[in-house]
Amino acid sequence: MDLGLAGRQAIVCASSKGLGLACAEELAANGVNLIMNARSADVLGASADRLRDTYGVKVTAVATDITSEDGRKEVLAAADGTIDILINNAGGPPPGDFRNWSMDDWNKAVNDNMLTPIELIKAVIDPMIDQGFGRVVNITSGSVKNPIPQLGMSNGARAGLTGFVAGLARQVAKHNVTINNLLPGQFDTDRIASLFASRATAEGRDAADLRAEAEARNPCGRIGYIKEFGQACAYLCSAHSGYVVGQNLLIDGGAFNSSH
Ligand code: NAP
Identify the band that residue 258 occupies on the pLDDT scale cut at 50, 70 and 90.
Answer: confident
pLDDT, residue 18, reads 97
Q: Over range 218-223, report the average pLDDT.
A: 98
Q: Are 241 and 135 in contact (CB under 8 A)?
A: yes
Shortest-distance atom of ligand 1 to CA 16: 9
pLDDT, residue 259, reads 79
Strand partners, 181: 138, 248
Is the distance from the beta carbon of residue 238 to the nearest atom of ligand 1 less than 6 Å? no
**Predicted model pTM:** 0.97
Q: Over range 194-204, report the average pLDDT.
A: 92
Mutate to test the pocket of ligand 1, among 43, 72, 89, 151 (most ligand atoms within 8 A of CB): 89
Please state, in angstroms and rounded to a whole number, the distance separating the CA atoms of residues 165 and 6: 27
Q: Are 64 and 70 in contact (CB under 8 A)?
A: yes
Is the distance from the beta carbon of residue 151 to the nearest atom of ligand 1 less than 6 Å? no
Is the distance from the beta carbon of residue 95 to the nearest atom of ligand 1 less than 6 Å? no
| Closest residue CA from atom 11 of ligand 1 | 38
pLDDT, residue 48, reads 98
pLDDT, residue 40, reads 98
Model confidence pLDDT, tens digit, residues 99-135:
999 999 999 999 999 999 999 999 999 999 999 999 9
Please state, in angstroms and rounded to a whole number, the distance separating the CA atoms of residues 57 and 136: 20
pLDDT, residue 90, reads 98
Mutate to test the pocket of ligand 1, among 23, 35, 39, 186 (most ligand atoms within 8 A of CB): 39
Q: Over range 151-156, report the average pLDDT.
A: 96
Model confidence pLDDT, tens digit, residues 6-36:
999 999 999 999 999 999 999 999 999 999 9
pLDDT, residue 206, reads 96
pLDDT, residue 26, reads 98
Is the distance from the beta carbon of residue 16 to the nearest atom of ligand 1 less than 6 Å? yes
Percent of the chain with pLDDT over 70: 100
Q: Are 173 and 162 in contact (CB under 8 A)?
A: no
Inform me whether the pLDDT recorded for 195 exceeds 90. Answer: no
Instruction: Indicate the Cα dihedral angle 119, 122, 123, 125, nearest 10°.
Output: 140
Is the distance from the beta carbon of residue 242 to the nearest atom of ligand 1 less than 6 Å? no
Q: Are 33 and 241 in contact (CB under 8 A)?
A: no
